[in-house]
Amino acid sequence: MNSDLSATLHAIAAHPTGTTSAGYPYLSKASWQILRNQVPLLFTFGGAALEACAQLEADKEGRSEEEQKRYADAMQVVRQVTFTASITAPPDLWLLRNVLAAFAALGLHERLAKGDALFPETCTVNGAALNASVLRTDLEFFQARGLVEAYDDGFRMAGHPRARAIFENATPLPEGLPSSTTRWWRDLFLGGEIPKDQLRLLRMLGENPPQRKDGSQNHWIATWEEIELGFRLLPVVLGLRATGQTASLKEGALLRAGCWQSKSLETEAAALNILATAGWVVAQGDDFLVTQLGARGFSRGPGPFGIIETYQAYLDQGVQLLQKGTADVWVERGENVGASQDANRRGFINSNDALDRFCEATHFQYNVFIEHAVGRGEATRIRFERSGDQDMRYFGADLEDAAIDEAQREQERGVLPAKMEFVRRADIGCPEILKQALEASGVNSQGAVMMVGNGFHEVRDQDFESMTQVLRGYEEMGLVLLFTEENALSIEDLRNTAWNTYHSGFKYVHDLSGQVLRPGVARSPHRSGHLMRASWEECALKAGYQRADEFCSRTRTIYPYPTQDGHNPSVSRNHFFIPSALASKLGLE
């Protein structure tokens, strides 16, 4: 075991641990700060941390039972944080590389490296003003990843040497290389014909992937090598996901050049080299075996990876966005429907569980189930398995034709109800579209159930009043509303929790595209004085809904220790709201 890493893990375990009401261990704040700042968690260093945890926990000599438990609890948290970083870091690193490439193309990186401040409202390049909104969004993303600090109404480079090294090393992407190579890798793994220029670029990415060598650190900021490696790793993983292969890549699974039946073994070897450099596979003779870290990444990574990569259209035009804004760019969800399904599955299980418990507790009955922002119909699939379609009518609604097309393919496979009806061009921000479709099908919407997975934030350019009006439309239709939304997190929270969420990138792409993230529940201004947007809870309550508190739930909290002031927001929340008329009928007021 690396002696420095061993000493650091001993220091983490030296502090008292605690146990949550659900039985999970947590660290002290002091231990978390050591873990966050001094233990490198990304790529091969994450694998080393996992190995060191196992060794330290197994070495019980001279420890009392109390000490053994403290070590075991502390190492369990270290493992969980390491596994989390393997999933949350690559999307941020992929984004950072692309945004830095745009800055490098315009010379903005040199200004930051020299110590100059960038003021979004007045920043120019060659005498032409840059788009203030896009520049501020980019710089706030850098701020969330520790690279710049707020300065009056602008931003300066952060003082850490890694921040300077990143801006000094930033370059535009190589000519011909898009922001993401996922489709190229997918076609390669499927054995398709790949143009020679694309094969050359893919091989270039895998020939000598940059690798951080020194594991010593006093800050969690990524190195330039880690940023570049994350940029190369994410598309390989998504290419494998697009061909249906990640599910089989368990720990110890064997890979080798030639296993994908492509027409270029040399390019397959490049993909394996990227995975090996990231620590997701390890060489064993001519073969590669999936590591513990890789197994976790292949299992949990494609959802978050794919959701962020959906915004490739914005990243491909990074320079133009800084010059002209985002008005002419739009995300196509077709490539991302599977990723959304992966990411939302757990939330839909929780929501369906809550719906079953609600019906049992209140004797509420319904015979219409609607899934808005339907994707592949994951919420409906779960409901269909439980309720069948004998006495239930199912509807799927979505703005994007690609999503409806995917859902209909699932229907043809027998995964979704044979009689499920679909509503195309259904903007979730326009309840009237769904209302008219239900009326045309002879459906009384009063008492119907609607389930949504991360769909309401897609209502563009919303404010508190307009979002309240949207929810009021669904309330007046009498829809029992269950929805999951990722919580908006402050920049301060994002920095304090480092790689423990992927929300810095999640916030960035949604801010860039004009979508709106909100906190799950009402809260006071943050410690920095930054006032967060009105919460989903506030919008729904003002719209006339009543919150069914005991049937709401949240995912894990972002700090792995209890904060002194109790502020510890969750990654996401599962909301459950009941129309006022139905609440009165059920005696829930």
The 8 Å CB, 24+ separation contacts for 560-564 are 560/26, 560/27, 560/32, 560/77, 560/80, 560/81, 560/500, 561/26, 561/27, 561/28, 561/29, 561/31, 561/32, 562/18, 562/26, 563/29
Query: Is 100 contained in some domain?
Result: yes
pLDDT of 528 > 60? The answer is no
pTM, rounded to two decimals: 0.91
* Rounded-to-integer distance, Cα 589 and Cα 585, Å: 9
% pLDDT > 70, the chain = 96
Per the structure, the count of domains in the chain is 3
Based on the fold, state whether residues 44 and 133 are members of the same structural domain.
no
b/e string for 270-303 if b means 16 or more Cβ within 10 A? bbbbbbbbbbbbbeeeeebbbbbbbbbbbbbbbb
31 and 104: one domain? no
In a domain, 328, yes or no: no
> What average pLDDT score do residues 90-106 get?
98
Does any domain span residue 330? no
Question: 313: how many CB neighbours lie within 10 A of its CB?
Answer: 15
Specify whether 369 is located in the same domain as 286: no
- What pLDDT sits at residue 530? 55
**Residue for token digits 């919420």?**
379
Q: Which two tokens stand for residue 326?
A: 């985002």
pLDDT in tens, 310-322: 999 999 999 999 9
pLDDT above 70: residue 331: no
Residues 6+ apart with CB under 8 A from 236: 185, 271, 274, 275
407 and 276 in one domain?
no
Instruction: Tell me which DSSP letter residue 328 carries.
Output: T
Of 298, 323, 348, which marks where a domain is finished? 323
Taking only the tens place, the pLDDT of each residue in 388-442 is 988 999 999 999 998 999 999 999 999 999 999 999 999 999 999 999 999 999 9
pLDDT value of residue 566: 87
Confidence class of residue 79 from pLDDT cuts 50, 70 and 90? very high
In a domain, 490, yes or no: no
- The verdict on residue 160 lying in a domain is yes
CA–CA distance, 243 with 253 (Å, rounded to integer): 17
Residues 308 and 341 placed together within one structural domain of the fold: no
Which of 323, 348, 374 marks a domain boundary? 323
pLDDT confidence band for 461 (50 / 70 / 90): confident
Orientation of helix 302-309 relative to helix 224-242, angle to 10°: 100
d(CA 284, CA 129) in angstroms, rounded, equals 54
Helices in 498-555 by DSSP H: which ranges? Answer: 503-513, 536-542
Would you say residue 112 lies in a domain? yes
> If you compute the radius of gyration of the chain from its CA atoms, what whole number of angstroms results?
25
Are residues 190 and 264 both part of a single domain? yes
pLDDT(339) > 80: no
Q: What is the pLDDT of residue 112?
A: 98
Domain that holds residue 372: 335-484+533-585
Tokens coding 314: 């914005």
pLDDT at 21: 81
Q: Are residues 318 and 375 in the same domain?
A: no
**465-498 confidence digits (pLDDT tens):** 999 999 999 999 999 999 999 999 999 999 999 9
pLDDT band at 326 (very low <50, low <70, confident <90, very high): confident
* Span 204-228, pLDDT tens digits: 999 989 999 999 999 999 999 999 9
Are both 292 and 398 inside the same structural domain? no
Structure confidence by residue, pLDDT tens digits, 235-269: 999 999 999 999 999 999 999 988 888 889 999 99
Domain C-terminal end among 293, 323, 353: 323
| CATH number assigned to the domain comprising residue 395 | 3.40.50.150
Instruction: Report the alpha-carbon distance of residue 458 to residue 483 in Å, rounded.
Output: 13
Q: Given a cut of 70, is residue 84 above it in pLDDT? A: yes
Q: If you average pLDDT over every residue of the chain, what do you get?
A: 93
What digits encode the pLDDT tens for the residues 347-372?
A: 899 999 999 999 999 999 999 999 99
pLDDT on residue 330? 61
| The pLDDT of residue 529 | 45
Cβ 452 vs Cβ 459: under 8 Å? no
Q: Is residue 275 part of a domain?
A: yes
Q: Identify whether 184 is part of a domain.
A: yes
pLDDT band at 22 (very low <50, low <70, confident <90, very high): confident
pLDDT at 341 over 70: no
CA distance linking residue 111 with residue 103, whole number of Å:
10
pLDDT tens per residue, range 126-181? 999 999 999 999 999 999 999 999 999 999 999 999 999 999 999 999 999 999 99
Question: How much is the pLDDT for 531?
Answer: 66
Same domain, yes or no, for 52 and 113? no
Q: Are residues 34 and 169 in the same domain?
A: no
Residue written as token pair 């995912």: 555
Same domain, 314 and 347: no
Mean pLDDT lowest for which of 21-25, 47-51, 241-245, 394-398? Answer: 21-25
Do 108 and 70 lie in one domain? The reply is no
Residue type, 284: Q
Q: The tokens of 365 are what?
A: 């009955």
